[in-house]
Structure 1
Amino acid sequence: MNAVTFRGERDFKQKGDGSLVTLKALYMNLRIKYKLIALITAVMLLVCLLMLIVQQYAFEKYDEELYRQSAQSLGLTAAGIESELQKMERLSYRLATDGTLQSYLNKIKQAGTEYDRFVIADYIQTRMLEIGGMEKYVLSIQMTDYYGKEYAAGTKLVTSSPERIRMLKKETEPNKGGNTWILPDEEDRTLSSARLIRSYQELELAPLGVMTVRIDMEGLFHDYLNKAGGLENMELYIMKDGHSIFPALETDEESKLNEFIAGKQGYTTAGIDGNRYFVAYVPSSNTNWTYMTLIPYDTIFERVAAVKRAVLLLLAALFVMAVILSVRFSKGITGPIERLNLKMKRVQLGHFDAWEDEDDKQIPMDEAGQLHRNFRMMVQRIDDLITENYVKQLAIKESEFKALQAQINPHFLYNTLETINWTAKMNRQRSISQMVESLGFLLRSSITIKEPLIQLKDELDIVSHYVTIQRIRFEERLDFQLDVPDEYQTTMIPKLSLQPLVENAVNYGVEHMLEPCRIRIRAWHEAGRLLIVVEDTGPGMDAGILAGLKSGDVRPKGSGVGMRNIDDRIKLLFGDVYGLQVDSERGAGTTITMALPYERRDEHV
């Protein structure tokens, strides 16, 4: 028997192990996309299960805390109401012992005539209003004199019947001036603080009347329930000796409420008239009253049940969303890998071009995207290596040619120009010698001067050598005049800012005229600015060409340095208030004004 049992257990264990191996093999052979979907789904199921367990535990603790907080809320409400009722007691005492009111009541008692009561009535009502008529929870103050005449002040006055006046006197007499709580009845549905008014003059303590303060219990209950965080459907009761002090109830209703009071503060749940209620009660610390609240059970837990339903719906929605996102997520990971696999197969067949598709434009920057980019770079590198042998010799020849070109450096040019100059002098070719010297100076200036700002005299030297070359070219057709005072010679200006302006005057003025053309450079200063003017008597320019030169759309002749370039450099160095201003009109020549900051510099600095 034992051997059979052992063999059966072993067979069951082998079957179990075989099932696990089969499931493991099935999982391992799944595509990565389905593995991710299964993994995310399992994780979400576990998370949802844990959240449900935590939710159930949290709501149970919440229910217990809700019971406790409701009982504490009732305690706070009862304490607040007790405090207000004590204020009403003190108010009735202050009214009953007020010297002014007692003097009026003594006069009425001694005189006893209708006329006296009529005269004094207005003073009594005014005094009652001054003392307590504006208290928040006072409906009215009712006072009767020694003869049973009633005086009232407040917001909601009532007229007491003779029977009620006799009842008030009867109820307050045993307390001998102490506070007496008058419970609601059919005639007056409010709770009142009443006391016998006794004369304290010469300590005779003779009765003078009855003082009654009617209390707004509904307003008092409503305010303190709100302060304590009470619910909308909460009902508050004050019980005394098995009877409801407020509000007034039928006998059978009072008996049902008394069944739940166990003496000390507590709470319970009970069924009343087919409805389930949460009952909390607390005894008064000053009287033998008991405060009780009834809250419909559904009112308390309706929100809790709604939250539970919302949590369940939220978990279900999260689970469905997780499955959908897992499908999209897995597709986003495996999709690029599958496309990369197809590309590798095409490259394996020898196709190195036209292997990109439209989906490659949306490849992200993650690892899969890096695989695609690295594969593309690898294929391009292989293609480059294949064609490298065909262009290698061409590249070598091009590098050799550039090396030969580099041998012609500026020093070689200077030496060559110097040789031409001496040859011209030996052959007495003065014009050629001047041109070569000027050209050498211009070349040396453009290469050796590295500073963005140079002195005005250095810029004028560049202009003079340029004009020397152009004079030999145009002879008497070029009339150049220089009118720059010596005091401006050390002023700093941007390098190569005047020579291009003179070059423009030559290209657009002298070249287009057969008669002599005068080019003049003038300079003066005003308002802290140095103004340098280059003007010519050439044919001028049309508005279209002038606008093109200013905007840079028209490329200037000669060196290629346009007025837009010069103007931008000046504004960049000195500010937008400086720069070039061009005035030209067809047949009236061209005037270019350069505005620079005027700062004289010592030549020896």
Structure 2
Amino acid sequence: MTYFKSAYKNAGIHHKMILLIIVLMLVNFAVFAVILKYVFHIYDNQMYKKTSEVLNISSIGIENELRDVEKITFKVTTDEQLQRYLLQLESETSPYTKMVLRKKITNRLVAFAGSETYVYSMMVIDKEGQVMSAGNREGIPPELRSTLSELAAEYNGSNAWYVAGHSSLLAARQFKSFTDTNFTLKGLGTLAIRVRIDRIVADRVQTSGRDGQLMITDGKQMIYPEAPLLSESDMQAELARKQPYGIATYTGGTFFAAQTKSSYTGWTYLHMTPFDDMFRSITIIKEIVSAIFVIMLLIALALGARLSGSITRPIVQLIQNMRKIEKGDLDRLEEEALGAVPLSTQDEVGLLHRTYKKMIRRIRELINENVAKQLLLRETELKALQAQINPHFLYNTLESVNWLAKANKQDRISEMVEALAFLLRSAVSSEEQLIPLRKELDIVRSYVTIQKTRFDERLVFHLDVPEELMDAQIPKLTLQPLVENAIHYALEPQIEPCRISIVARVREGALFLQVEDDGPGMTQDFLEKLRSGQVTTRGQGIGLTNIQERINLTFGTPWGIELHSESGTGTSIHVCIPYVKGEQGHVQGAAG
């Protein structure tokens, strides 16, 4: 991959343009192919919709007729005369009487079957296995009799469908006795109706062989037609396909197949349309589109090569002229460039030549400006180095004062100088903005040490910080300005001792810091000015607004400070930030 990137970067404009034309053509062809595929997909959906409508209409029509047949089976099995004949036949012992009863049953079946269009034959199988039929006199094999009787008994009086072979569909229902005095609902026999499924399909399905073929299967046997387009193995493969429609290739050819499953019978209705007849025009369109694309690609390459040549030849000439004057002095550059300008061209290449002339003029100006900037940069660097001397000089001076105070046993002066030196180092150090709470408290203690020299016993300072919170990370100089505020606004205005406290707690993953004083408090008007940043602390000049902004930049807008104060009751400043441990370096949680 690196080799190809390098080759592309080093290739000339001519080759890059040819490559760009090829890529654009391929992208256009891909887009067109996607659009064409989408159109064909819409066409397929329309075909599926049409085929689905045919399937739905066909299945609804067929199943309506099957429901009518089911109603016939119910009507026949609940006929009082047949019920009575079968009860008598069960209790009768005389052969002649049985024959007469079977004749009556047959005549009754003829009355039912004669007016039904889609009933091929109607048969009653009694308890002795004898068959009484009406309509077509085609018999029922003994094994089929027992199968139908067992199936009807299994459905216990409900209608059951049985597929005996291609286009051979039977409806079976058991006679249940309800005319006897005890209403026992015992089985009296079995009714079997052979249905003319081929005639039902012919009347209800408006398709021809050219449009495809409708097939009905129960998943194991073919119900219709006798000669399906698919073999048994192909049929099983089609039923295993999960898509409701698609293009499938089987032994008999390629078909556009659509299927739907009946919720009434559980049968699957399939509509198979020969693919070649249906999609021949689409195949031709695809071939024409591919041929047109190849022709357009060749034409685009020829035109692109000619266009890129007209652009690159003047550029190559300009490069040659630039190389000729590459070793010359600056005074001759402008004169050489003037002779290289093609005055007759007004396109981008001519503009490039004229711009080159202006560039040579600008080079002289930039050289002069660069010399001046280098001098200014050196002067600035010198001043920066000199500025670094001042803090070190101050630290050394403070160390000398501290040594002198210790030599003269002035412990308070020494303590105050050490605190001042620590404060200065902490303020100007270039450490990271997040420091441990322990270090921030050291800064506060140093500041309090200095102030105690001034206020003595009037300043009462108290810390309530658990040891496990000392490693919590907080923004640098967060608490010291708040303590400075408390001294300035609570301690200075009064002569009584003032208690200033710092409390730290952790709740729900958030670190809460509180700076409290029992001073005179603040008026509502002054409190608003302090909140808005109109009043800042003395010394470092870091106001509440500055602390709030630094907390927002570090942790986000949900975190910050809150100021509470009432005149005569003291002031309390609450700082809420995420609890970040120094060892782990990540936020432990967020406040709710």
Q: Same fold (TM over 0.5)?
A: no
| TM-score tier (shorter) | 0.3 to 0.5
Q: Larger Cα Rg: Structure 1 or Structure 2?
A: 1
Normalising by structure 1, we get a TM-score of 0.40
